[in-house]
Amino acid sequence: MEFSKRGQEVKDFAEREARVLNHPRLDGHHVLVGIVKKGTGVAAQELLERNVNLDALRVEVRKIVPPGSGPKLPSEAMLFQEPQLRDAIECAEKWVVALKDEAICPIHLLLAMMEVCDVHVLRILGHFNIKPSELADTVLRKYEEKKLVKRALALRDAFAKKIPGMILNGWVHADLKAADPLTIQTLEKWFGLQADEAVGRLAYEVDK
């Protein structure tokens, strides 16, 4: 499975970090640095909100896995993946399918590294007093809310294209049926209406 543009950038950052540390093998802690260094997306933003900034993270990585003492790795040297990172990437692919996405993104990598219990990643999160299960729940909730907002913006654009009210109405109803209270609140703020009123108004506006 392919990486998204953001996912590939995280992977590139991780490989660069491994070379700086003179580590011949790529592992989860390098990927964690890559996610935070990228700095965008739900996974990175949630880590940053929990004070996992790049400088502090690098300090913890060096405590757990000190820089290599051997000959400096050439910049073009191929890095092999540690077995637990390979497991995490396989798990990330399952998260892509579960979340109905198309490519591996930073959020899938973060969720996967926690699910496969990457030892170094869990130790680092523990230093920042982060519980993996709680982090996973929060990241997933925010990610689903973000996706819902994107769909809401798509609905707004659909007004101009006059998508049939039946399709539009069904789309909104499906989203609201599956949404938790906080997600519904987000949608209501966007429409400036109560959720049920928003559904009716959408159908009316498109059918006009």
CA-based nearest residue to 184, from 163, 170, 199: 199
Per-residue confidence of the chain (208 residues) as pLDDT tens digits?
Answer: 999 999 999 999 999 999 999 999 999 999 999 999 999 999 999 999 999 999 999 999 999 999 988 778 777 778 899 999 999 999 999 999 999 999 999 999 999 999 999 999 999 999 999 999 999 999 999 998 888 767 666 665 554 454 444 344 444 444 444 445 555 555 555 555 444 454 444 443 333 3
d(CA 76, CA 85) in angstroms, rounded, equals 21
The ranges of the chain annotated as CATH 1.10.1780.10 are: 5-130
Give pLDDT, residue 158: 56
Contact of 143 with 111, CB cutoff 8 Å: no
- Which residues, in sequence order, are CB contacts of 136 under 8 Å at separation 6+? 111, 114, 115
List Cα–Cα distances, 108 to 28, 32, 93, 96, 176, in angstroms.
13, 12, 8, 6, 24
pLDDT confidence of residue 204: 38
Token representation of residue 114: 């926690």
Give the class (CATH, top level) of 5-130.
mainly alpha
